[in-house]
Amino acid sequence: MDADMSDQLDLTQASPARIYNDFLGGKSAFEIDRQAAQAVVRTAPDARRVAIENFLFAGRTGRWAAERLRALDPHHPAQLLDIGCGIVDDLPPDMPRVEDQVHAVDADAVVVGVDNDPVVLAHARGLRQPGYGGVLPGDATDLDAIFNSPALRDVVDVERPMAVILAAVLHFVAEPDRVINDLRNWLAPGSILAISHATTTKTAAARVNSMTRAYENATDRIFFRPEEEIRSLVDGWSLIEPPGLVDVADWGRPAGHDGHRGEKVRVVGLVAELPSSTPALFASS
């Protein structure tokens, strides 16, 4: 473990990124994270499968966005920013990462991860494969710091359209509308946004309450929201329909697929494009 990571690491609280890694079958969680993951599974026995479907959703939307961006601008590689990218270098071989999916359709695409977890950053330094744009320290609630980062601007042209993935991120943010509003201010027209979010819609209240309690002592609390509130986050964007807002297991898959829909807790996802003119909800703070 890097010395600088040891200085930042707080093992008195579970981390959503490391809990997620445990759900995906990774080996980077600590005991406190595994205990939190087990608490979630006791509440929602299908939580691990739902997490896998969310991870696969991120890859499919990244691939779709890369194809779309390259088709609109064949002379430039696609650019993709994966905010809250998590620890994905130690996953089973049948779990293609976002960058793997993107590079399958655009070998020259630039994929940059962002995360605020020191373990994620340590893994990124040691294990990321060549051709990946790297993982930068940052938080979805401070997009100014991310987009002003010289390290990001070294590899991404912020004046050109890009794709941003916020997979299972905004349900750890108290005011997600502010994040989306700030993205509107930063992104060029034609940019693409992919979101997945835990929802109260068609999820039993007891499951919502139990999972909320399971994350109470983590570094970030979880906020379940109704589908209509999640959909409203992209008001002013062009929602890609079909499929619109659907279970993450359904997005980008043909009818009759074998993806697993959440039985105890639902995570839904959408993709939207930024048109040439979008009014901001309120001034950036």
Q: Is residue 285 part of a domain?
A: no
Q: How far is CA 182 from the centre of its chain?
A: 16
In a domain, 154, yes or no: yes
Flag whether 280 is in a domain: no
Alpha-carbon gap, residue 15 to 221, rounded angstroms: 10
Q: What averages of pLDDT result for each successive group of 10 residues across the chain (285 residues)?
A: 48 84 87 89 86 95 97 95 87 86 95 88 60 78 96 93 97 97 96 97 89 83 96 97 94 72 81 77 40
Strands, E assignment, the chain: 79-83, 110-115, 135-137, 163-167, 192-199, 238-239, 246-247, 266-273
Can you tell me the distance from the alpha carbon of 229 to that of 81, in angstroms, rounded to the nearest whole number? 24
Closest C-alpha among 78, 284, 73 to residue 183: 284
The pLDDT tens digits of the residues spanning 219-244 come to 889 999 999 999 999 999 999 999 99
Q: Which residue has the tokens 């898959």?
A: 253
Amino acid residing at 30: F
User: 115: domain CATH number?
Assistant: 3.40.50.150
244 within domain boundaries: yes
| Confidence (pTM) | 0.88
- Per-residue pLDDT tens over the stretch 165-185: 999 999 999 999 999 999 999
Ramachandran region, residue 252 (left: φ > 0; alpha: ψ -120 to 50; beta: rest):
left
Asked whether residue 150 is domain-assigned, the answer is: yes
- Residue 278 in any domain: the answer is no
When divided into structural domains, the chain yields a total of 1
Q: Do the domain assignments include residue 284?
A: no
Residue 81 lies in a domain: yes
* 197 neighbors 265 (Cβ within 8 angstroms): no
| 159-168 residues labelled b (16+ CB within 10 A) or e (exposed) | ebbbbbbbbb
Q: Which domain holds residue 61?
A: 3-273
How far CA 103 is from CA of 4, 67, 97, 209, in Å, comes to: 31, 10, 10, 39
